[in-house]
Structure 1
């Protein structure tokens, strides 16, 4: 991993280190299986043909872009951007191009460049006021007729709503709200895309299983999403939501015990849309 200086305005609440690199890659496999039925693109009508250009926005490690490159012809040009390069996978395929760029300010040279854009799980990255600007930028860099795929989970709505789960949910919600992050963005994606000018907006909800009750996939969910909750510990302590790292880790231990017993899940929203021709 490289230690660079992220772009100004970077509000990411998770760390950028080896542990988070591994968690993000496991989370990708988990999401691909439970949300996308083992695929990378939800809309089955999407085809990656000659001169096709793709963007993975908020790419993290770049795992989505790299796996796409491994499954499409070499002539498909794939760009992957993030506000920091600290978690970029070294030595990507030749047709994957990493860039340090924010979705709220994409390079001017990318206007009308992309046929398809993927973006997922930025609820801990974008301020509430940034989302409309981000979707405006996505609209700008898509070709007319191009498609966007957004994926976010609704962290407010665990099912079942068990006591510790509700306690952690409410604490994180308060902190995100204090930081200006849009904790409920998943349920507003469709209307925000329509406001930004997109058409053919389609929304589907899948469930993210958590805990041993769901078998191996539930264990992956605990490591993936539970890991992300554990990794916001520093933000939780700094904001005063908990008194210490030890208190928060003890709370997370109890939460994962609940998941194992009750088989909890989060709703995950997949929203697809197109830029008008």
Structure 2
């Protein structure tokens, strides 16, 4: 986790989908906070307020959130699990989302770091954390980066400490959408697969996390799945339209970095793309979209 000096900025040259700082596919700036907080609330609603599945026994656990953004997950961890006296730490590739260190944020220790490289030795973090959490970075790392990222996190855990990885099976590899019945959801799969393929990312990482952890020597590896419902399949009826709107916001930035020739199988022009997003929003609101969100945990050997 190499410390970096500048906030993340949009990529201006090269592959328009290369992502922020050359690796992050989705927007990474202050405008993202609202969407990220909305996503967090939807996850809470869908999982019955479950933020933690790792069996933490320490009374004063030291936790690191990788991809912490504005610290929302850390603050809610403290709120929803008050039986612990948490020591809250977070890292992110860009500091643009970090809050001012005041009010409830005073308890957060946030650093701008690149998780693909080992953490700087001056932080003194090696072997110091009881829990490392990382969520929804499927569009944050290239496929080739995952082993190094997880190895770096293993080094930061105490013996017996836990890692918790939370990723979503955005594309169901076993049950694809019928294009005749769900034309826009089927086209969504094309978009998701294409966007990760051209950026070297792994749309199926949620299926592979257990194997990654076992290969690194983690023990007691297990997975717990929840349904992450959008639109008509949102767990709370009041979340139907808001969750459909939230889902579409995931893709709107693609139109701002439009690739020459368009997106194969999705749209040739920006206008076609934005119309597709509107049609997709309506389809999600009417029939729903319900991928599984996986909580995968593993324990560092004693």
Is the TM-score greater than 0.5? yes
* Counterpart position of 2:46: 34
- Which of these residues, 220, 223, 243, is aligned with residue 245 of structure 2? 223
Q: Residue 59 of structure 2 is aligned with which of 49, 53, 72?
A: 49
Asked if structure 1 preserves the Cα contact closer than 8 Å seen for 2:33 and 2:97, the reply is: yes
The verdict on how the C-alpha distance between 1:261 and 1:149 changes in structure 2, with shifts beyond 3 A counting, is same
Deviations 1:226-260 (A, max 9, x none): 32122333355468314333221111111111112
Distance 1:239 1:156 in 2: 24
**Structure 1: runs of 5 or more not aligned:** none
* C-alpha distance 98-212 of structure 1, shift in aligned 2 (>3 A): same
Task: Give, in angstroms, the shift of residue 55 of structure 1.
Answer: 0.2
Distance 1:42 1:194 in 2: 18
Q: Are 2:168 and 1:153 aligned?
A: yes
Distance in 1 between residues matched to 2:135 and 2:31, nearest whole Å: 20
Q: CA deviation at 1:212?
A: 3.8
Shift of 1:187: 0.4
- Residues 192-234 of structure 1 show CA distances to partners (whole Å, capped at 9, x for unaligned) of 1111111101112211111145422333432333321223333
Q: Secondary structure at the match of 1:209?
A: coil
Q: Is the 8 A contact 1:116 1:148 kept in 2?
A: yes
SS at match of 1:101: strand
TM-score, length basis structure 2:
0.82
Q: Which moved more, 1:169-178 or 1:155-164?
A: 155-164
Q: Residues 156, 75 of structure 1: CA spacing in aligned structure 2 closer, same or farther, 3 A cutoff?
A: closer
1:101 aligns with 2:113: yes
Corresponding residue for residue 6 of structure 1 = 8
Q: Could you tell me how far 1:5 is from its partner in structure 2?
A: 3.3
Paired position in structure 2 for 1:263: 288
TM-score with structure 1 length normalisation? 0.88
Moved more, 240-249 or 265-274: 240-249
Offset of residue 265 of structure 1: 1.1
Show the 5 A alignment for 1:150-189.
150-157=165-172, 161=177, 162-189=182-209
Selected match of 2:91 from 67, 75, 81 = 81
Q: 1:238 to 1:30 in 2, by over 3 A?
A: farther
Q: Give the conservation status (yes or no) of the 8 Å contact 1:63–1:89.
A: no
Unaligned runs of 5+ in 2: 10-19
Structure 2 match to 1:251: 276
Choose the corresponding residue for 1:141, options 156, 159, 163: 156
1:143 & 1:27 partners in 2: Cα distance? 30
211-220 or 95-104: bigger deviation: 211-220
